[in-house]
Amino acid sequence: MISHLISEGINGEPNIPGDKSISHRSIIIPSISNGICEINNILKSEDVLHTLNALKSMGVKIEEDKKKILIYGKGLNSLKEATNEIYLGNSGTSARLLTGLLSSQKFKSVLTGDSSLSKRPMKRISDPLNKMNAKITTTNGSLPLTINGSNLIARNIDLEIPSAQIKSGLLLASLNTSGETTITENKITRDHTEIMLESFGSNIKMKKIDNKKIIKIVGKKELTSKNIDVPNDLSSSAFFIVCALINKNSRIILKNINNNPTRNGLILALMKMGANIQILNKRLNNNEQVCDIEVCSSELNGCDLGEEFADLMIDEYPILAIAASFAKTPSIFRGLKELRVKESDRLKLILMNLKNCGVECKEENDNLFIYPSKNYSVKNNIIRTDFDHRIAMAFCVMGTKLGPLNIKDSESINTSFPGFLNELNKIGGKIL
Ligand code: S3P
């Protein structure tokens, strides 16, 4: 895919797809609840379809039409052993959440994935589950992963790595475990699982003490399904937000965007940088905060972001690095260790591709430094993505300022945002 320079800004109202994190949970949780769940605006991207097919392969009745899907849940113990291995493509969220869910079922499951997912760390989820007596074996710490479903023992688990995927896997395991499991988060991460479990009637209690969060969940309580309207994805919006900010004469409106305070670090960071962003029509939907967002071209300042931002916007650093490249002053983003174990080593690819675009930048102790300039000269316009959707979309946005950039392996964008190219081109982008 080639992303070309645009001379005018971007203008209009792009359609942003449903939130990826909430979509995964909207399939998993109703599948083990009682009743029929109608889900509107679910994200139909490859990652989410892997979760959907996994649940179907375990006997859950799921009906799909263009706009909505229906899930016929039959309770905590209604899943059946899949006849084959469960293939999860590129989706880390599917892998970690399903490992938790399946560890307390009564059957054996084998999870596999593509070459990128098969390199990602899985002991971070199997180790805490094994402390609860789960029987999970990994292949050298990664997929393929074998789960011999068993009766788990409720324990107190202190989360060493800040990760909503690990937390959610443990919560899903606890649902079918007798007694009270306590999970302590030392850094707060996205809380979509807790919000949905609470509204489905789970016996779950949350308490915040300073920067810690303690979650107590009593298992073996059946859940009751509710209909879900999935809000649109802030992480997918991020590419449009930054594209509008860095290109002159831009104004865009993004509707019905999830504005969960455990996810909105990008907006806070950009506002700190002086971005002209208005948050409009704040409201609640299925207990998730939702809003509309108006963004206009802005002269950005650089900023120094502490590591407390990392947990609130871990997926947004590739696109924030593009914004920082066009700011008036340098930026430092601190505490980016987790970026190394995402769909690619994102820290490495951000640095390599920025340098190829002529942007001076460096990394020290997992902190990223970006020194913007007024005159970039692209050294090598081949953008390496290692099949990482967010690197590909971030550098498409870079192409609107420094194009043409040749974004390699850009089909990965289908893992989270199948309509990305059309939506950007519709409002003034030039991606071919
Ligand atoms: C996700 C959590 C984050 C994020 C991922 C989606 C989720 O991962 O990077 O894209 O849906 O729970 P970690 O929890 O591993 O940081």
Domain hosting residue 348, numbered range = 11-17+231-426
Distance between Cα 342 and ligand 1 center (Å): 9
Counted domains in the chain: 2
How open is the CA angle 427-236-239, to the nearest 5 degrees? 55
Which H or E run includes 62?
Answer: strand 61-64
pLDDT, tens digit (0-9, with 9 covering 90-100), for 43-89:
999 999 999 999 999 999 999 998 899 999 999 999 999 999 999 99
Q: Is the same domain home to 212 and 353?
A: no
Residue 425 CA to chain centroid, in angstroms? 24
168 lines ligand 1 (CB under 6 A): yes
Q: Is the same domain home to 60 and 165?
A: yes
Q: Is the same domain home to 220 and 251?
A: no
Residue 27's CB is within 10 A of a number of other CB atoms, namely 26
315 lines ligand 1 (CB under 6 A): yes
Average pLDDT over residues 245-254: 98
* C-alpha to C-alpha distance for 394 and 368, rounded to whole angstroms: 16
94 lines ligand 1 (CB under 6 A): no
Q: Is the same domain home to 358 and 392?
A: yes
- Smallest CA separation from ligand 1 atom 5, residue: 93
338 lines ligand 1 (CB under 6 A): yes
Distance between Cα 6 and ligand 1 center (Å): 32
Q: Would residue 431 count as lying in a domain?
A: no
Q: Would residue 299 count as lying in a domain?
A: yes
Residue 67 has what pLDDT? 82
Task: Say how many CA atoms lie within 13 Å of 260 toward its Cβ.
Answer: 28
52 lines ligand 1 (CB under 6 A): no
Domain boundary among 214, 229, 244: 229
Distance between Cα 48 and ligand 1 center (Å): 13
Average pLDDT over residues 397-425: 98
Q: List, in order, residues 6 or more apart from 256 with CB less than 8 Å away.
A: 16, 231, 232, 290, 292
Catalytic residue check, 315: yes
Give the DSSP per-residue string, 230-260: PPBPHHHHHHHHHHHHHSTT-EEEEEEEE--
164 lines ligand 1 (CB under 6 A): yes
Distance between Cα 240 and ligand 1 center (Å): 21
Residue 193 alpha carbon, nearest atom of ligand 1 = 12
Domain boundary among 206, 229, 252: 229
Q: Is the same domain home to 127 and 190?
A: yes
Q: Which of these is catalytic: 233, 292, 315, 388?
A: 315
Residue 83 has what pLDDT? 98
Distance between Cα 189 and ligand 1 center (Å): 9
Q: Would residue 322 count as lying in a domain?
A: yes
Q: Is the same domain home to 200 and 265?
A: no
165 lines ligand 1 (CB under 6 A): yes
* C-alpha to C-alpha distance for 191 and 179, rounded to whole angstroms: 22
Look up the pTM and report it.
0.98
Average pLDDT over residues 215-236: 98
Q: Is the same domain home to 341 and 198?
A: no
Distance between Cα 44 and ligand 1 center (Å): 18
* C-alpha to C-alpha distance for 135 and 141, rounded to whole angstroms: 14
Residue 362 per-residue DSSP state: E
Q: Would residue 2 count as lying in a domain?
A: no
Q: Would residue 4 count as lying in a domain?
A: no
Closest CA to 280 of 268, 270, 289, 269: 289
Q: At what angle do helices 92-103 and 20-31 cross, to 10 degrees?
A: 20
Q: Is the same domain home to 167 and 187?
A: yes
Q: Is the same domain home to 183 and 268?
A: no
Q: Is the same domain home to 225 and 236?
A: no
Residue 124 alpha carbon, nearest atom of ligand 1 = 15
Contacts 24+ apart (CB under 8 A), 108-111: 108/81, 108/146, 108/147, 108/148, 108/149, 109/81, 109/82, 109/146, 109/147, 109/149, 110/85, 110/86, 110/144, 110/145, 110/146, 110/147, 111/85, 111/86, 111/143, 111/144, 111/145, 111/147
Torsion of CA 220, 221, 227, 233, to 10 degrees: -60
- Mean pLDDT, the chain, whole residue set: 98
Q: Would residue 349 count as lying in a domain?
A: yes
pLDDT, tens digit (0-9, with 9 covering 90-100), for 87-130:
999 999 999 999 999 999 999 999 999 999 999 999 999 999 99
Q: Would residue 131 count as lying in a domain?
A: yes
Q: Which two tokens stand for residue 97?
A: 């959440």
Given a cut of 90, whether residue 193 has pLDDT beyond it is: yes
3-state secondary structure of 270: helix
Residue 78 has what pLDDT? 97
Which H or E run includes 354?
Answer: helix 346-356
Given a cut of 90, whether residue 210 has pLDDT beyond it is: no
Exposed (0-12), middle (13-18) or buried (19+): which is 331, by Cβ within 10 Å? buried
Domain boundary among 229, 261, 282: 229
Q: Would residue 166 count as lying in a domain?
A: yes
Residue 422 has what pLDDT? 98
pLDDT, tens digit (0-9, with 9 covering 90-100), for 350-398:
999 999 999 999 999 999 999 999 999 999 999 999 999 999 999 999 9
Average pLDDT over residues 310-326: 97
CATH number (domain holding residue 346): 3.65.10.10
288 lines ligand 1 (CB under 6 A): no
Residue type, 432: L
* C-alpha to C-alpha distance for 197 and 228, rounded to whole angstroms: 12
